[in-house]
Structure 1
């Protein structure tokens, strides 16, 4: 099994324990019960002592350092930090903050959204309210901690088939991308566009924000 670690601050090396088909990662730490990462004490109730050694979970330490952890069962590899083919912003690296977006996750057939007649269930959507038989989508905001580790953001978006599109609303749907509080791009979509895919340069961005009144489909960073 390989362990990929891209953060030099994780100076305690790693051993992986396989138990009943589940993968449990532990950082080896001699005689340490309390875990302090960059001055912050983190909770790790799974920590235990065995044969004079203390074991704490990789995930607890890595996430305290702002590093996602991903297990790839196909090649028996635990990734800490960057993954060679990028990170999925739905499953691998989730938003640390969400505004105006209750029940926002599109993740199954019962919580999907239709654009140009095709259903999508991997991404996010904002809150909404009904106007007659149609839906008015509000501005949702999603924030991720990229830590300056990625170069490109790719996502798709479009106007949902049930969206309110009368008058000025027909062409006013939009999505914006900010990096560290600065605008990177604003993208306007209309019902005639269908699903559109965008690639955005996020080189050096630590805090990524995607906002707007259209869904965010298949967001990914590389």
Structure 2
């Protein structure tokens, strides 16, 4: 698991991350009992180009970091690199484990994420009369009585959007929740639907799971398929972003 510039080979990001762990700037990781001394060198002659632009890795205080040369290979600081690529990273000191791509099971509540909404037809509310949906009381909901868009800046931090949605009375029609990629890199594909899930008035609060892995900015468009102007759709505050189902991860590792 090396990043060897002399061979000029192209490595996938996952391999690069794994190699970079040795040079991680995670601080307390150096207290691990299995550390052993090596003879390595800070290689300040190596420069980096990230997505076509010159990039300088830095520590949390803003100090420039250099690559490390060891045994014919070059290693990079994993935290600085993961932040530059907008991939979440976590360190578990108790287990001496580094999580690249986020921990399974950790959730970011949907309304805690950077969000833009259509303020004409989509409205956030905490009114107890409006946050009671399907006989369940929520703290906050996004109500969309006609149609609407909600845009989230996710910065490639998550794999899934788990949306709790419903159609309330007097809604009579199925409502579609559609996912779009509206990041700067979307180009002409920004108008292409990536996924659509439907919720009917007869459903209870329904959980919709969207794949958002690798996306920087997404849009959820909510509207009836037959363009009915009154849909009475709701998105609940129990919705969240995460990096996968820990139960599924445990099953796949067996």
Q: State TM-score, norm by structure 1.
A: 0.51
Give the unaligned 5+ runs of structure 1: 1-5, 20-27, 130-134
Q: Is the 8 A contact 1:171 1:188 kept in 2?
A: no
Q: Are the structure 2 counterparts of residues 44 and 125 from structure 1 closer, same or farther at C-alpha, using a change threshold of 3 Å?
A: farther
* Partner in structure 2 of residue 209 of structure 1: 218
Q: 2:116 aligns with which of 84, 88, 99?
A: 99
- The 3-state SS of whatever aligns with 1:171 is coil
Normalized per residue, which structure has more strand?
Answer: 1
Q: Is the 8 A contact 2:48 2:56 kept in 1?
A: yes
- The 3-state SS of whatever aligns with 2:14 is coil
The CA RMSD over aligned residues, in Å, is 5.0
Q: CA deviation at 1:37?
A: 6.0
Normalized per residue, which structure has more helix?
Answer: 2
Give the unaligned 5+ runs of structure 2: 1-12, 30-39, 69-75, 223-233, 245-254
Distance of 1:17 and 1:145 partners within structure 2: 25
* Partner in structure 1 of residue 88 of structure 2: 68
* Partner in structure 2 of residue 157 of structure 1: 164
Question: Which structure has the larger Rg?
Answer: 2
Q: CA deviation at 1:57?
A: 8.1
Q: Are the structure 2 counterparts of residues 120 and 218 from structure 1 closer, same or farther at C-alpha, using a change threshold of 3 Å?
A: farther
5 Å-filtered alignment, 1:6-85, equals 7-10=14-17, 12=20, 13-18=23-28, 30=42, 38=50, 39-41=54-56, 46-47=61-62, 59-72=79-92, 75-81=95-101, 83=103, 85=104
Q: State TM-score, norm by structure 2.
A: 0.46
Q: Is the 8 A contact 2:26 2:79 kept in 1?
A: no
* Partner in structure 2 of residue 25 of structure 1: none
